[in-house]
C-alpha cells in the first residue's frame, strides 16, 4: 500500500468530523428510535405486563391455585404432549423437505416450495375443517379408527395433526435459504472422501444448519403451543380432555374466571419467553463456533 | 493409475456439455484440461471423480470399467474450485475426515490418524495450523489444506478444479511449484482444470485443449505451442 497516492480531501470540520456517512440528521434518528420504542411498548411489552398483572391481581396464591385445578393442569399437560410430538416430527419433515429442495434439481420445485408455505396462507379454521372432513367419524379412515377404539377427530391425534399442519413451514423455511446459500460443495467433498450418505448428513449437513434448525424448531414450538383456530375445530373442546392451553384460556375467559384465564395465559407466555431465553443462551454459549462458521 | 476416457458425452437437459470425447491418460502423468469457461472441463473432471454420470460412454481405470463405480469407491482425491473445506471443523479434522469415514475394519487407530495428519500438514508446509478453522486461513492456505485432505485418503488419482483460480499471482506461482512437487513425490496420476494457458504449459506433462464440449488437441506443451492443431487452439494460445 506504500505506493497509494496521498489524497488531499478537505478536512471535515466541527461536529461533522465524527459522523459516519450513513448517519441521518439527529432529529430523524431520534424520531425513528421513538417510533420503534413506542411500537414495542404498545404491542409487545404492555400486553405482556397486563397478562401478568391480571393473573396476579388476587395474589400469587390464587394464581397458583387456579393452575392446580384439574382443568388447567390437564390443559398444560395436553399442550406439552402435543408440542412434544408435533415439533420433532415437523423438524424431521422440515429437514427432509429442505434437503430435497436444495440438494436436488427436479421439476415442480417452485410448486413444492409454494405448497410448504400453504399453512401460512390458509386460515387455521379452514385447515381444521379440512381435517374433520378427512378424518371425521363418518369418513372411511376415521370410521375405521373409531371402530377400533382410536378416534382421530375430537381426540389427541387430530390435535397433533392440526398443530403439525399449522407449524410445518417453520423449520423448512428457516433451512431452505441457509442450505441454498451453502450449496452442496461440502457434501460432495465428503462423498469424494468416502463418507456414506448418513455420515455426511450427521457430520457435514446437520452441523452446518444447526443454528437455523434450532431457530426454526423454537419458532415451531412456540407456535405449536399457542395454536388456537385449527385446534378449536378438531378438538371438540372437551374440558379436561381435549382442551389445550389456548382453548382452556378462552373458555375460562368467557366464563369471567379472569384470574384462572390470565394465570394460564401467563404460563403460556412464560413458556414462550423460556424458548427465547434458551435460544439466546445457546447463541451466547456457542458464539465462538458461530463466528467460525462464517467464511471470510 | 492409467485412465481411459472412452466416447464420454454429457447432456444437461438440452445443453450438451460434452460431445463424445476420448482421452487416454498414462499412469503417473500430470495433465491439464485447458479451455475457456463453459468448455466442459469441470464436467469431464466431475465425471472422472464420479460426481456426475455420463450420458453415454465409459471410463476405465487400469483397463477395468469404472463407469458405474460410486464416488466413494473411486477413491479420487478431489480438490474443489472453492475448496469446500468443512467450515465447522478444524484443519486437523478436515484432513482426518476421510480416514475417520472409513469402515471400521480399514480405519486407522486414533494415534495413526494423528500421525498421518501431522505428516500431511508438514507436506503442505503448514505444520502449525491444525487447530485453526477454515475461516481463519488465507486463500492459499485453504487450497493447500484442501490438497492435504484429498491426499489423506491415499487416493488412486488426484483431480483438481481450477486449483489456483481464486488466488493472486504470487501465491499461484508458489502453489504451482508445490503441486508439481507433490505430484512428483506421490507419483499420482493428476488432472487439473485451468483456463490459464501459462499455468497449463508450465506445469503439465500433457495438455488437453477443450472448447465447447470437444477436445481440440492433446499434446505436450511444447508440441501444442509449436503446432496448434486447429484454428481455435491457435487463436486461444495467441491471446
Ligand atoms: N449442473 C448443470 N446443469 C446444467 N448445465 C450445466 C451444469 N453443469 C454444467 N453445465 C453446462 O455445461 C457446460 C460446460 O460447463 P463446465 O463443465 O462447468 O465448463 P468449464 O468448467 O469448462 O467452465 C456449460 O455450458 C454449463 O452451462
Ligand atoms: Mg469449471
Say if residues A247 and A235 touch (Cβ distance below 8 Å): yes
What pLDDT score was predicted for residue A17? 52
Name the pLDDT band for B199 (thresholds 50, 70, 90). Answer: very high
- Mean pLDDT along residues A182-201: 94
Best mutation site among B12, B37, B46, B192 for ligand 1 pocket (most ligand atoms within 8 Å of CB): B12
Q: Which residues pair with B215 in a beta bridge?
A: B210
A151 pLDDT higher than 90: no
The reply to whether B20 and B130 lie within a common domain is: no
Per the prediction, chain B carries an average pLDDT of 95
Query: Does residue B132 lie in a domain region?
Result: yes
| Nearest beta carbon to residue B71 from set A192, A208, A291 | A192
**Chain A contact present for B151, CB below 8 A:** no
B128 plus B13 within the same structural domain: no
Helices (H), chain A: 26-39, 46-55, 60-68, 70-103, 109-121, 124-135, 140-147, 156-167, 169-182, 185-192, 197-200, 206-226, 229-235, 245-254, 258-285, 287-293
User: What percentage of chain A has pLDDT greater than the value 90?
Assistant: 50
Last residue of a domain, one of B153, B170, B196: B153
Span B133-182, pLDDT tens digits: 999 999 999 999 999 999 999 999 999 999 988 788 888 888 899 999 99
Q: Tell me if B37 CB under 6 Å of ligand 1.
A: yes
At residue A258, the pLDDT reads 86
Asked whether residue B82 is domain-assigned, the answer is: no
Contact across the interface for B84 and A185, Cβ inside 8 Å: yes
Specify whether B163 is located in the same domain as B209. yes
Q: How far is CA A68 from the centre of its chain?
A: 28
**Tally of structural domains, chain A:** 1
Q: What is the pLDDT of residue A284?
A: 82
Residues of B in contact with A199 (CB under 8 A): 101
Domain assignment present for A221: yes
pLDDT at B55 over 90: yes
Task: Give yes or no for residue A191 having a pLDDT over 60.
Answer: yes
Whether residue B140 is contained in a domain is answered as: yes
Residue A207 scores a pLDDT above 50: yes
Tell me if residue B79 falls in helix, strand or coil: strand
- Interface probe for A, chosen from B97, B117, B134 (most Cβ of A below 10 Å), is B97
How many CA atoms lie less than 13 Å away from A65 in the CB half-sphere? 8
Residue pLDDT, tens place only, B76-120 = 999 999 999 999 999 999 999 999 999 999 899 999 999 999 999
Look at residue A289 in the predicted model and tell me its pLDDT: 59
Taking CA atoms, what residue in A is nearest to B148? A193
One domain for residues B37 and B133:
no
- Supply A137's cell numbers: 367419524
Instruction: Name the grid cell of B3.
Output: 485412465
Residue B19 and residue B62 in one domain: yes
CA distance A293 to chain B (A): 6
Query: Residue B35: CB within 6 Å of ligand 1?
Result: yes
Q: Give the residue from B137, B153, B169 where a domain finishes.
A: B153
ipTM for the whole complex:
0.94
Q: Is B161 in the pocket of ligand 1 (CB under 6 A)?
A: no
pLDDT (tens digit per residue) in A75-112: 999 999 999 999 999 999 999 999 999 888 888 888 98
Q: Are residues B159 and B71 in the same domain?
A: yes
Q: Which domain holds residue B109?
A: 88-153
Mean pLDDT of A177-196: 93
Question: Does residue A104 lie in a domain region?
Answer: yes
User: Of B45 and A286, which is predicted with more confidence?
Assistant: B45
Answer yes or no: is B232 within a domain.
yes
A117-146 pLDDT per residue, tens = 999 899 999 999 999 999 888 888 888 888
**CB pair distance less than 8 Å for B101 and A190:** yes
User: What residue numbers bound the domain in which A87 lies?
Assistant: 60-294
Interchain contact B236–A (C-beta under 8 A): no
β-bridge mates for residue A118, sequence order: none
By a Cβ cutoff of 8 Å, what residues of chain A touch chain B? 185-186, 188-196, 199, 203-204, 207-208, 289, 291-296
Rg (CA), chain A: 25
A22 falls within a domain: no
In a domain, A284, yes or no: yes
Please indicate, yes or no, if residue B210 is contained in any of the structural domains: yes
What CATH number does the domain containing B183 carry? 3.40.50.300
Q: What is the mean pLDDT of residues A179-192?
A: 93
pTM above 0.80, yes or no: yes
Q: Which atom of ligand 1 is nearest to the CA of B39?
A: 22
Same domain flag for B111 and B207: no
| Interface check B166 vs A, CB under 8 A | no
Ligand 1 proximity of B208 Cβ (cutoff 6 Å) = no
Query: Residue A2: is its pLDDT beyond 50?
Result: no
Q: Give the pLDDT confidence score for residue A293 in this predicted structure.
A: 52
Among B40, B161, B212, B214, which residue has the most ligand 1 atoms within 8 Å of its CB, making it the best to mutate?
B40
Tell me the pairing of strands B64-65 and B56-61.
antiparallel
Residue B10 located in a structural domain: yes
Residues B37 and B96 both lie in one domain: no
My answer on whether B147 and B183 are in the same domain is: no
| Stretch 60-119 of chain B: residues touching chain A, C-beta under 8 Å | 71-72, 74-78, 80, 82, 84-88, 97-98, 101-102
The cell for A242 is 381435549
Q: Give distance in angstroms: CA of B81 to centre of ligand 1.
A: 14
Of all protein residues, whose CA lies closest to atom 18 belonging to ligand 1?
A: B42
The pLDDT of residue B180: 94
Measured between CA atoms, the residue of chain B closest to residue A185 is: B84
Average pLDDT over chain A, rounded to an integer:
86
B139 and B196 belong to one structural domain: no
CATH number of the domain enclosing A136: 1.10.3720.10
- The whole-number average pLDDT for the span B48-53 is 96
Residues B67, B162 share a domain: yes
Domain boundary among B116, B134, B153: B153
Are B138 and B169 in a shared domain? no
Cα-to-chain-centroid distance, residue A134: 26
Residue A45 lies in a domain: no
3-state secondary structure of B8: strand
Mean pLDDT within A175-179: 91
- Find the CB nearest B102 among A191, A194, A204: A194
Coil, helix or strand at residue A16 = helix
**pLDDT beyond 60 at A13:** no
Residue B48 lies in a domain: yes
**What pLDDT, on a 0 to 100 scale, did the predictor assign at position A1?**
40
pLDDT, one tens digit per residue, over A37-53 is 999 989 989 999 999 99
- pLDDT band at residue A11 using 50, 70 and 90 as cut-offs: low
**A20 is a domain residue:** no
User: What's the number of domains chain B is made of?
Assistant: 2
pLDDT in tens, A209-262: 988 898 899 889 989 999 999 999 999 888 888 999 999 999 999 999 888 999
Q: Express as a percent the part of chain B with pLDDT over 70.
A: 100
Chains A and B form CB pairs within 8 A to the count of 73
Closest by CA position to B197, among listed B32, B80, B70, B67? B32
- Model confidence band, residue A23 (pLDDT cutoffs 50, 70, 90): low
In a domain, A35, yes or no: no
Q: From the CB of B167, is ligand 1 less than 6 Å away?
A: no
pLDDT(A27) > 90 = no
Amino acid at each position: 500500500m506504500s505506493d497509494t497516492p496521498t489524497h488531499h480531501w478537505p478536512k471535515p470540520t466541527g461536529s461533522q468530523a465524527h459522523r459516519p456517512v450513513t448517519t441521518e440528521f439527529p432529529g430523524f434518528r431520534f424520531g425513528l428510535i421513538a417510533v420503534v420504542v413506542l411500537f414495542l411498548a404498545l404491542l409487545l411489552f404492555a400486553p405482556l405486563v397486563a397478562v401478568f398483572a391480571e393473573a396476579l391481581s388476587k395474589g400469587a396464591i390464587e394464581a397458583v391455585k387456579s393452575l392446580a385445578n384439574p382443568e388447567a393442569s390437564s390443559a398444560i399437560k395436553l399442550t406439552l404432549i402435543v408440542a412434544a410430538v408435533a415439533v420433532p416430527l415437523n423438524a424431521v419433515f422440515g429437514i427432509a423437505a429442505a434437503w430435497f429442495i436444495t440438494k436436488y434439481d427436479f421439476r415442480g420445485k417452485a410448486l413444492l416450495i409454494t405448497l410448504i408455505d400453504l399453512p401460512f396462507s390458509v386460515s387455521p379454521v379452514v385447515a381444521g375443517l379440512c381435517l374433520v372432513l378427512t378424518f371425521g367419524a363418518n369418513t372411511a379412515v376415521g370410521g375405521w379408527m373409531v371402530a377400533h377404539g382410536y378416534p382421530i377427530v375430537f381426540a389427541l391425534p387430530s390435535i397433533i395433526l392440526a398443530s403439525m399442519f399449522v407449524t410445518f413451514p417453520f423449520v423448512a423455511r428457516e433451512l431452505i435459504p441457509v442450505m441454498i446459500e451453502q450449496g452442496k460443495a461440502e457434501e460432495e467433498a465428503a462423498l469424494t472422501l468416502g463418507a456414506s450418505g448418513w455420515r455426511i448428513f450427521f457430520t457435514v449437513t446437520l452441523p452446518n444448519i444447526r443454528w437455523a434448525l434450532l431457530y426454526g424448531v423454537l419458532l415451531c414450538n412456540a407456535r405449536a403451543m399457542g395454536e388456537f383456530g385449527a385446534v378449536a375445530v378438531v378438538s371438540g373442546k372437551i374440558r379436561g380432555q381435549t382442551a389445550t392451553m389456548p382453548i382452556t384460556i378462552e373458555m375460562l375467559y368467557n366464563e369471567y374466571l379472569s384470574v384462572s384465564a390470565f394465570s394460564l395465559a401467563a404460563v403460556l407466555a412464560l413458556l414462550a419467553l423460556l424458548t427465547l431465553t434458551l435460544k439466546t443462551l445457546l447463541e451466547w454459549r456457542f458464539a465462538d463456533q458461530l463466528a467460525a462458521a462464517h467464511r471470510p | 493409475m492409467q485412465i481411459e476416457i472412452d466416447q464420454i458425452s454429457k447432456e444437461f437437459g438440452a445443453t450438451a456439455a460434452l460431445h463424445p470425447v476420448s482421452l487416454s491418460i498414462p499412469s503417473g502423468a500430470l495433465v491439464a484440461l485447458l479451455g475457456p469457461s463453459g468448455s466442459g472441463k469441470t464436467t469431464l473432471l466431475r465425471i472422472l471423480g464420479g460426481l456426475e454420470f455420463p450420458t453415454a460412454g465409459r471410463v476405465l481405470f487400469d483397463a477395468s470399467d469404472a463407469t458405474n463405480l460410486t464416488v466413494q469407491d473411486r477413491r479420487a482425491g478431489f480438490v474443489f474450485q472453492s475448496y469446500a473445506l468443512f467450515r465447522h471443523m478444524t484443519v486437523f479434522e478436515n484432513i482426518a475426515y476421510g480416514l475417520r469415514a472409513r469402515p471400521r475394519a480399514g480405519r486407522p487407530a486414533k494415534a495413526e490418524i494423528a500421525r498421518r495428519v501431522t505428516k500431511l500438514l508438514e507436506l503442505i508446509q503448514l505444520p502449525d495450523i491444525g487447530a485453526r478453522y477454515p475461516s481463519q486461513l488465507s486463500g492459499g492456505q485453504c487450497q493447500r489444506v484442501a490438497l492435504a485432505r484429498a491426499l489423506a485418503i491415499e487416493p488412486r488419482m488426484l483431480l483438481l478444479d481450477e486449483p489456483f483460480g481464486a488466488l493472486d499471482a504470487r501465491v499461484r506461482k508458489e502453489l504451482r511449484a508445490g503441486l508439481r512437487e507433490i505430484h512428483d513425490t506421490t507419483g499420482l496420476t493428476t488432472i487439473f482444470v485451468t483456463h490459464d494457458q501459462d499455468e497449463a504449459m508450465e506445469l503439465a506433462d500433457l495438455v488437453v485443449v477443450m472448447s465447447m464440449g470437444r477436445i481440440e488437441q492433446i499434446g505436450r506443451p511444447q508440441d501444442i505451442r509449436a503446432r496448434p492443431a486447429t484454428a481455435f487452439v491457435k487463436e486461444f494460445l495467441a491471446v
